[in-house]
Structure 1
Amino acid sequence: MSGPDISVVICVYTEDRWEDILAAVASVRAQSRPALETLLVVDHNDLLRERLAKEYKEATDVRVLANAGPRGLSAGRNTGIAASYGEVIAFLDDDAVAERDWLRHFASSYADPRVMAVGGRTEPIWASGRRPAWFPEEFDWVVGCTYRGLPPGRVRVRNVLGGNASFRRTAFDAAGGFATGIGRDGDKRPLGCEETELCIRLTRARPDAVLLIDDRAVIHHRVPEAREHFGYFRTRAYAEGLSKALVARSVGADKGLESERRYATRVLPAGVARGLRDAVLARPGGAGRAGAIVAGVLTAAGGYVVGSVRARRGGATYSVAAIEGGGDE
């Protein structure tokens, strides 16, 4: 098998996703290019950790670990990085399944030594069986999926998306770990952007670093019924604004909002125009999609303003020591 050894880290936190977790692990074990190992990092849930340890007690390719840092996704990922052995560490959401060639496509990009990170394409699996008519593809990031506006193919990007991503181990040596003050931390508010902040730090530490998205590396992400409603859409958009403010505070607004400016000035106006055109043509959901885009932008902007004020009071924590210790400084 040519190319780097790849460890896969899946961060888990609730028994409510038991079947999803088993499906995620099974999809990794079925890869055409086998993973070196799969690490299940359990976020401060002893019952789940014990249950998973029992489930995989005979497995030589699956390890179950406790999050060694504070509650949250970033510290869980840092724990997985510290415990893994692969030259590349890939991350898969606990409610997603990877297509058979997922790791093979990741590995092919690392033949170029400049490549420090590779992400893939994430497709939604809607609980209701179909996309809600009002839900714009431009906002699929709300449910953790690839959104309209990202370029197709294998292309260079500012940042990869965390639920379907991989990093060369030396990327963490250069930039440190995931910031524990940005992403989800067990609170009910669906924060994010920790991978964005890490990628920007990485390219500052290694200006020659290449970050890619390869849309052949596909996973399918479950969208629960509760996230198909406008209430969640609005909550997630507001949380994204809060998170973007923390990123801008950490790495500067120029880099922190570089991609977002293009998205807001090109992708979203085109989406509104498509929605209005569909409404004129009496196509289902056109007006709703246009309205949702406008509402999403305004809500995220409000979150950004509030987050900017809050960010002045404190910041995110990250370092190589944070990885080695599995937590923050």
Structure 2
Amino acid sequence: MSHPDISVVICVYTEDRWEDILAAVGSVRRQSRPAAETLLVVDHNPALLKRLGQEYGEDHEEVRVLANAGPRGLSAGRNTGIAAARGEIVAFLDDDAVAERDWLRHFAEGYADPRVMAVGGRTVPAWASGRRPDWFPEEFDWVVGCTYKGLPPGRVRVRNVLGGNASFRKSAFDVVGGFATGIGRDGDKRPLGCEETELCIRLSQALPDAVLLIDDRSVIHHKVPAVRERFGYFRTRAYAEGLSKALVARSVGAGKGLESERRYTTRVLPAGVARGLRDAALGRPGGAGRAGAIVAGVAAAAGGYVLGSLRARGGTSTFTVPGRTPASGPATVPGRPPARGGTR
């Protein structure tokens, strides 16, 4: 498939991001490799649904406005978009991000190989203050939904793509269902995540020959509001990541669920701490703060993981994959037994 049609899904939930939504859609419409359509999925907000319907009416046939057909949250919104998409490839863009002109072109190139089931890109932070806070380590840019230091450059094979800047063959969802609800974000509530990690691991388990790529030429710029530049958000988001990772490990097994995280915590983060301490010794701004933030972030994530594991074992944390029975324990993928290993 050399020239697949691409449907772009943007999930939206608040009128507070009205200008951001328009900017996101505009960036898709300016692509050098045009999208077949843009689907705006509105998450249980009738006023926003009506307003967007008026904005993109009959004169904008390439933009369709839909209501989230599932429970509140990002995962169900994405699943609604997947179900409605007409393209052979489904790409996802955050509602507060803008894509560079060749974003979709580089995605499409990855699918020349029929084994490729997903292609992700590079997400660059656009700080509200105009610059990265001195104390904020690049190794933790995932806290603000961006590509973090430690990921390999170029077009490389990965365990999972990052959900705000990613694409999948639509046929992949026929095999493994959609994004799990109960793991990812729900508007402005606790900033959970990892739903794309869980889906990508399920996909690789169901299709062992599947290839998942990140191509760092597929670039988007993701807004980082002032509140997310603060240490309080940093710590809360790291804690929430631990909670989510516990559910991922429960779904697909700790071996795969934590495979990349082990390398990250044993190689990337110690190097980051050492670099921060060296900068501090040389009198460079923020060195000690970055080293301390890495340590604090690891501690917060570990605490969230422990609590999340206890909740998962006790059945108080649940998640559901469309097409499967609601689960609080190991999930099942087509043609395979339940994932084993639990948490450890």
Alignment check: 8 A CA contact 2:155 2:213 kept: yes
Assess, with a 3 A threshold, how the Cα gap between structure 1 residues 56 and 321 changes in structure 2: closer, same or farther: farther
Alignment-mate amino acid for residue 269 of structure 2: L
Secondary structure at 1:215's aligned position in 2? strand
Alignment check: 8 A CA contact 1:119 1:160 kept: yes
Distance (Å, rounded) in 1 between the aligned partners of 2:319 and 2:2: 38
Which residue of structure 2 aligns with residue 162 of structure 1?
163
Assess, with a 3 A threshold, how the Cα gap between structure 1 residues 283 and 142 changes in structure 2: closer, same or farther: same
RMSD: 1.2
Q: Show CA shifts across 1:33-66 (max 9, x none).
A: 0000000000000000100000011201000000
- In structure 1, the gaps of 5 or more residues are 323-329
Which residue of structure 1 aligns with residue 96 of structure 2?
95
Question: 1:182-261 alignment to 2 at 5 Å?
Answer: 182-186=183-187, 188-261=189-262
Q: Show CA shifts across 1:225-267 (max 9, x none).
A: 0000000000000000000000001110000000000000000
Question: 1:1-329 alignment to 2 at 5 Å?
Answer: 2-57=2-57, 58-186=59-187, 188-312=189-313, 313=315, 314-320=317-323
**Alignment length, in residue pairs?**
322
Alignment check: 8 A CA contact 2:198 2:257 kept: yes
Distance (Å, rounded) in 1 between the aligned partners of 2:75 and 2:147: 20
Which stretch shows the higher mean deviation, 151-160 or 305-314? 305-314
Distance (Å, rounded) in 1 between the aligned partners of 2:319 and 2:4: 31
Alignment check: 8 A CA contact 1:239 1:303 kept: yes
Distance (Å, rounded) in 2 between the aligned partners of 1:43 and 1:291: 37
Alignment check: 8 A CA contact 1:172 1:320 kept: no
Deviation at 1:185, TM superposition (A): 2.2
Deviation at 1:315, TM superposition (A): 3.1
Distance (Å, rounded) in 2 between the aligned partners of 1:292 and 1:186: 26
Distance (Å, rounded) in 1 between the aligned partners of 2:53 and 2:156: 39
| TM-score, scaled relative to structure 2 | 0.92
Q: Show CA shifts across 1:96-137 (max 9, x none).
A: 000000000000000000000000000000000000000000
Alignment check: 8 A CA contact 2:6 2:35 kept: yes
Alignment check: 8 A CA contact 2:2 2:112 kept: no
Alignment check: 8 A CA contact 1:173 1:320 kept: no
Distance (Å, rounded) in 2 between the aligned partners of 1:84 and 1:166: 12
Alignment check: 8 A CA contact 2:21 2:95 kept: yes
Which stretch shows the higher mean deviation, 12-21 or 310-319? 310-319
Distance (Å, rounded) in 2 between the aligned partners of 1:238 and 1:187: 16
Deviation at 1:311, TM superposition (A): 1.2
Distance (Å, rounded) in 1 between the aligned partners of 2:324 and 2:93: 24
Deviation at 1:321, TM superposition (A): 7.0
Distance (Å, rounded) in 1 between the aligned partners of 2:256 and 2:182: 18
Distance (Å, rounded) in 2 between the aligned partners of 1:164 and 1:188: 21
Distance (Å, rounded) in 2 between the aligned partners of 1:228 and 1:185: 20
Alignment check: 8 A CA contact 1:249 1:315 kept: no
Q: Show CA shifts across 1:191-224 (max 9, x none).
A: 0000000000000110000000000000000000
Provide the identity percentage.
Answer: 83
Deviation at 1:320, TM superposition (A): 4.0
Deviation at 1:2, TM superposition (A): 4.7
Which residue of structure 2 aligns with residue 326 of structure 1?
none
Alignment-mate amino acid for residue 200 of structure 2: C
Alignment-mate amino acid for residue 210 of structure 2: A
Distance (Å, rounded) in 1 between the aligned partners of 2:188 and 2:138: 27
Distance (Å, rounded) in 1 between the aligned partners of 2:32 and 2:188: 37
Secondary structure at 2:91's aligned position in 1? strand
| TM-score, scaled relative to structure 1 | 0.96
Deviation at 1:187, TM superposition (A): 5.7
Q: Show CA shifts across 1:151-205 (max 9, x none).
A: 0000000000000000001110111100002101236200000000000000011
Dislocated runs of 4+, deviation >3 Å = 319-322
